[in-house]
Structures are given as structure tokens and as C-alpha cells.
Amino acid sequence: MDLKIREDIKRYGWHVIMVPEDDIGPSFAYTIGLAHTCGAPELAMFGLDIRIMHQALNVLGEQTANGTTLADGQERAEVIERYPVLLRHADQRWHRTFFGRAIGFYRRPPLPVLQVCWPDRNGAFHWQDDSAEENRQSQPQLWLPPAEHPRMRLGGLGYAGGPEVRGT
């Protein structure tokens, strides 16, 4: 796997790690290599089909490689069909929980990460009161410190990042 990551970064400028949904939490995907090749934050996305997240992260990766600066608070309309995404800076205390392969590649935390947040069908983002419950349960709020993160429920299990290490 590490060889594939290095080959993709050399060839494309980044690699996308995809983690399917399981008993611990929602599916997620994140980039490795954007900081190395573009000097840009890595990107992470949660709760959609991993193929859709892979495509969305590649769209944003291509924009970054072409000189677009991605930053906290930006809304991007061209990433997911019919819906904007919003970028939020991930608190570094989440890095070991979710971004193990990136830490292994860079050989150090913290690294800059932007969470790519998507809205529900009515356009509400998962931290907004009128957001659909499924949307709130499938995306963490990584900009919050873990101790302040609201509880998420999946499959009857409590989940808020917890002690489980994912994405390694």
C-alpha cells in the first residue's frame, strides 16, 4: 500500500485513502500528498459512497494542482453535482484518529487538513439545526476539539471519534 501511495503522489500529486463504513463509524476518504506537492492542506470527506468521495477529492485536488487556493470557510459549487461543499479546518487533535496513513507518509503530525462538508437534500449542513439526522450522523465536525464534539449514533454504537484509530 505504501508503494501505491508513493507512486500515485509521484504520478498525480496525491493519493486518496478510502475507508468504508463499519461498526465504528461512517465511510470516509482523505488525500495524502497535496501538502507535499502543492503546499496545500490535505482534504477529508465523510459519509458518502467512497467512490463519490474519491471523485470529489480528486476534483478539489486537480483545482489545487492548477493553482486554486483552498481555505477554511470556502464554499465550492463545482465539486458535487447540484450541491455546494463547504471547507472547514480540522482540529489537529483528530489527526491520529482518522489520518494515520498521512501521518506515516509525512512522518509527523500535525498536518493541515480541510474537511469537505456536504449538505443534505435541502441544502442544510450537518451542524445546522435543520439538517437531516442522517447527515448529522454521517459527518463529524472535525473543526471542534474531540471533547466538544457532539455524540454521533451509528448502528446503536456511540461514536464521536473515540479511542478507535481509523484510516490507518
| Domain locations in the chain as residue ranges | 2-159
User: How far is 89 from 155, CA to CA, in rounded Å?
Assistant: 28
Question: How many whole angstroms from its chain centre is CA 109?
Answer: 16
Identify the bridge partners of residue 18 per DSSP, sorted by sequence position: 29
Which string of DSSP letters, residue by residue, matches 36-76? HHHS--EEEEESS-HHHHHHHHHHHHHHHHTTPPP-TT-EE
Is the preceding peptide bond at 110 cis, omega within 30 degrees of 0?
yes
Which three cell numbers mark 145?
A: 476539539
pTM of the predicted structure, to 2 decimals: 0.88
Contact criterion met (CB below 8 Å) for 42 and 115: no
36-81 confidence digits (pLDDT tens): 999 999 999 999 999 999 999 999 999 999 999 999 999 999 899 8
Identify the pLDDT of residue 152: 64
Contact criterion met (CB below 8 Å) for 57 and 43: yes
